[in-house]
Structure 1
Amino acid sequence: MSKPRINTMEELSVAIGVSRPTLSRFFQDPSRVKKNTAARIEAGLARVEYVPNFFATRMNRKSTGLIGVIIPYLNDLFFTKLLQAVEVAAMQAGMTVITQCSHSDPAIEARAAETFMSMSVDGAIVAPLGDHSDQAVHLRLKSRMPFVLMDSRPKTMPNVDFVGTNHHQSTGLITEYLCRMGEPPVFLAMPRVNFNAREREAAYIARMRELGFEPEVIGTELLHEDWHFEEHGEAVLDIEFGGGRLTDRSILCANDRVAIGAIRAAARHGLTPGRFGKGGLRIAGHDDYPLCPYLNPALTTVAQNTDAIGKKAVSRLLDLIRGDGRDDTPEITLFDGNLKLRESA
């Protein structure tokens, strides 16, 4: 037989003969009620169909147990990996994650921040769009709750704690590798809309000059309003390969999604990037996108340590929520990248 359905805590109180305040304390923390009362409540819950209202059980608590997370893209598996790392770390700490996506739109990003403020989440972790994020909204967010930046650190938010990748190290690592294996690499950049891509471009230029080579950067112009990743990489190299250029060069892409487009362009022109032998066409990326090992050829890249970034972002946020480490100096944590050698370079 189906159990009777209970919709409210008032109905539940009558059904099992326990006062509503006692039920509220039980759902907040079972140890806050007497053992025999807790056993009575558990026995009563077994006889009915009832799911406690998440927010109602937290109304009178100092903490909602919620962490808000904003990511820029839902269709990017890199951010899926990063979000997974954040959620696992948060769950292990007894917290619940609520995720919002800014969909590459500063107005939506601002609305997500406002939503978190209205929900009184305990703190927020934000992977921002970049310097075009709404600084005023993020300043309000920082004034209302503990706040940590993850993955990207815009110049407009220098006073916020940040956890991310050491792009100088990671981009320098793969630049040096490509220089050892063949012609010094060309950097396939992105239009000036992606903060991390600009950091990597600057790191590439610096490392090339340290090694005594002249940097070459292509792909900085926007070819189409919506072409920021795979389409951009394919279109830029389609033009270059079509003109007989770069067919025997090393090409370092701003990220793996751009590199996926670059590999497609190479295939369209009958070119196969490869790391076997000296010289020849090589294509490499950055991030270690989950599909990289399954491309043809598999993509050589630099892996960001998403597990460490997510875990540290949650750990730092929890420190701030508890009131630890609050001062005027932001804590900046950068993790090194690891080279992933595969067939493409």
Structure 2
Amino acid sequence: MEEFAAASGISRPTVSKYFQDPASVRPATRMRIEDALERLEYRPNIYAINQNRRLTKNIGIVVPLLADPFFGKIARTIEDLCGGAGFRPILLSSNGEREREIENLETLRSLKPAGALIAPLGRMSDRQAVAEFAAEVPTVLFDSNFPGVGAAFVGLDVEASVRLMVEYLCASGEPPCLFEMADPPNPNARRRRAAYEAAMGALGHAPMVIPVAGKGWNFEEIGHREGTALLTRKALPSETVLCSNDRLAIGFLAAAYQRGLRVGIGDGCAMRVAGIDDHPFARYTCPSLTTIAQDYDRIAASSVDALLAAVEDTESAGVREELTFEGRMVLRASA
């Protein structure tokens, strides 16, 4: 900025005043500065300016996998809401990797964000690293909860949502088995299994859990491969299959199609398949997928509201909120 001031013939304090608020300088001075900006092709480093002031308007957003349309959709909504509130969103993806998630937290530290919205990897996360970051920077977790970490958690009411689906499937046909990964990357899967077992027990049915092999975030591939193996061996204990998430269900539906099995309700249908999340592609599978819809917009808006409250109110440090929302049943052709 000093070099720009010298080259433009305008004092350094006046240039600094302009960058803080262009309307604060006289119109003639503003025109001289803007002409010089164009002529010298100068662009101020806003991040450096804010770091020097020890105050930024940056909001970090960290998701496990941006290639997953579920996180992509929520992240886009959060970006829009942060921008509308006058903040600059910085979106980072952990790509399903523990080391990348840690790097993302370090990157945000270097930018001195006003706050951060983080959907942790879950079981693959370095929880201590997330907790230490949240102790330094106002942080709200969404999707995956680490109890006691951050100012708030916002996500799905897993117990109520899974119970809603199990009750529907039991009332409308054969009780469902649960198709899940034996070693899931996300802790929500364990909670979904526990909720399934509780709901089945409450209805007087024995839970039928089918844990399948597979690691990482390639859910469709795992659902297709393991679904094919089960269908080939005719090893399913029920003709109704509840998948732990929609991405597993998408792979399972492809396996059923390739095995020549018709999925849905009515004459000629061999089985029913349902999922959880209302993944953006769920309505476009064949048949379209019956699922429990997470309220993307409400989760995103509540996450941003909770973070802005934490950024503005340092007095409430230590009081942690947990906001969960029951999912909505979406009935489609698969069940």
Query: Could you state the TM-score of these two structures normalised by the residue count of structure 1?
Result: 0.88
Deviation per residue, 1:180-205 (Å, 9 max, x gap): 21101111112333211111111111
Question: CA 1:163–1:189 in structure 2 vs 1: closer, same or farther (change >3 Å)?
Answer: same
Of stretches 46-55 and 227-236 in structure 1, the one that deviates more from structure 2 is 46-55
1:136 positional shift: 2.3
1:225 positional shift: 4.5
Cross-structure match for 1:6: none
1:307 aligns with 2:297: yes
More helix by share: 2
Cross-structure match for 1:249: 239
Partner amino acid for 2:221?
E
1:86 positional shift: 1.0
Map residues 73-88 of structure 1 onto 2, 5 A cutoff. Answer: 73-88=65-80
| Native 8 Å contact 1:274 1:282 kept in 2 | yes
Partner amino acid for 1:186?
C
1:47 positional shift: 5.8
In 1, the alpha carbon distance for the partners of 2:87 and 2:274 equals 38
| Native 8 Å contact 1:249 1:279 kept in 2 | no
SS of equivalent to 1:149: strand
2:261 to 261, 271, 274: 271
1:14 positional shift: 4.4
SS of equivalent to 1:296: coil
In 1, the alpha carbon distance for the partners of 2:158 and 2:233 equals 32
Of stretches 273-282 and 260-269 in structure 1, the one that deviates more from structure 2 is 273-282
| Native 8 Å contact 2:160 2:326 kept in 1 | yes
Partner amino acid for 2:324?
L
In 2, the alpha carbon distance for the partners of 1:335 and 1:153 equals 14
1:129 positional shift: 1.3
In 1, the alpha carbon distance for the partners of 2:150 and 2:66 equals 27
1:17 positional shift: 3.9
Of stretches 47-56 and 65-74 in structure 1, the one that deviates more from structure 2 is 47-56
1:108 aligns with 2:100: yes
| Native 8 Å contact 1:10 1:20 kept in 2 | yes
Alignment RMSD:
2.5
1:194 aligns with 2:160: no
Q: Which runs of 5+ in 2 are unaligned?
A: none
Question: CA 1:145–1:224 in structure 2 vs 1: closer, same or farther (change >3 Å)?
Answer: closer
1:183 to 171, 174, 177: 174
Cross-structure match for 1:174: 165
Question: CA 1:211–1:307 in structure 2 vs 1: closer, same or farther (change >3 Å)?
Answer: same
| Native 8 Å contact 2:155 2:324 kept in 1 | yes
2:329 to 316, 322, 339: 339
Deviation per residue, 1:19-62 (Å, 9 max, x gap): 23322332233344456544554455466644322223324434
SS of equivalent to 1:13: helix
Cross-structure match for 2:21: 29
| Native 8 Å contact 2:144 2:186 kept in 1 | no
Cross-structure match for 1:327: 317
SS of equivalent to 2:154: strand
Cross-structure match for 2:277: 287
Aligned residues: 334
In 2, the alpha carbon distance for the partners of 1:339 and 1:166 equals 13
1:239 aligns with 2:242: no
Partner amino acid for 1:211?
L
In 2, the alpha carbon distance for the partners of 1:316 and 1:160 equals 8
In 2, the alpha carbon distance for the partners of 1:40 and 1:277 equals 78
| Native 8 Å contact 2:63 2:120 kept in 1 | yes
Of stretches 69-78 and 98-107 in structure 1, the one that deviates more from structure 2 is 98-107
Cross-structure match for 1:4: none
Q: Which runs of 5+ in 1 are unaligned?
A: 1-8
1:262 positional shift: 0.5
Identical pairs, percent: 40
In 1, the alpha carbon distance for the partners of 2:35 and 2:150 equals 51
Question: CA 1:227–1:103 in structure 2 vs 1: closer, same or farther (change >3 Å)?
Answer: closer
| Native 8 Å contact 1:247 1:271 kept in 2 | no
1:54 aligns with 2:46: yes
SS of equivalent to 1:189: strand
Partner amino acid for 1:307?
D
Partner amino acid for 2:127?
Q
